[in-house]
Amino acid sequence: MDTMCGRFAVTTDPAKLAAEIDAVNEVPEPASESADLDAPPARSPGVNYNVAPTTTVMTVVKRHSHEEPDDDPLLRVRAMRWGLVPPWAKEVGKGPLLFNARAESAAEKSSFRVSVRSRRCLVPMDGWYEWKKGPADSKGKPTKIPFFMAPEDGTRLFMAGLWSVWHAEGSDAPPLLSCTILTTDAVGKLREVHDRMPLIMPFDSWDTWLDPDHRAPDDLFSAPAEPLVDAIAIREVAPLVNRVANNGPELLNPL
């Protein structure tokens, strides 16, 4: 597990996101059911300015229909727990909180190996928070300064992720879908804030990354190209984000 990319912001809902990217919205209302066996439980993530691990988040996958498995796979928006639960886990919440995975070594880890092969996803966000070491306070204790990284033009980011399906042993409850965000070495100016960054997946790589029938090529697990990172603005924000209970647009304001 990596220690960065533990908070982000998203300012759209599943229906709007699905319309934006021409996907099927599979985040159901409580009374509805999906035809796909992999469909998420009836939980609806919404606008969230301070997304933290274990929160239910939106993801984008590309899957075949359960009813027509020979049909072309479609983009689908699904709700998942942020913090991957491996299929072999005995119960949820016991063990590491796998909200990040190192892209360089995920294929070698038992928690992520199966997901690397056939369950890759995208995690949409407006931007992510990171903390940089600051000067000591009046009591000599180290401080951390929060920053928000987001595209300068206000477009949405889609981070590479992995997902998993977990079934509670002996239970008829719907399966739990969960995900993790991949990270790489930081690129360009982002190194000034942290030595790691989430793996940004450009639109022209979506089809290959999300292909449910083939493993993604190794180059897609590499750090993003520097021009992609150059389009990211870095701004210091108020320490309000330090508390998960704080959740409003003011968290994104420049300090």
CA distance 150 to 234: 7
Q: What pLDDT, in 10s, does the model give residues 78-128?
A: 999 999 999 999 989 888 899 999 999 999 999 999 999 999 999 999 999
Name the average pLDDT for the chain: 91
Pick the CATH number of 8-25+42-252 from 1.20.1430.10, 3.40.190.10, 3.90.1680.10, 3.40.50.1860: 3.90.1680.10
CA distance 244 to 247: 7
- Whether residue 42 has pLDDT greater than 50: no
- Cα torsion through 65, 78, 99, 189, rounded to 10: 100
Question: The whole model's pTM is what?
Answer: 0.91
SS3 at position 161: strand
- What are the CA-CA distances from residue 87 to residues 10, 21, 64, 163 (Å)? 27, 29, 20, 10
**Residue spans per domain, the chain:** 8-25+42-252
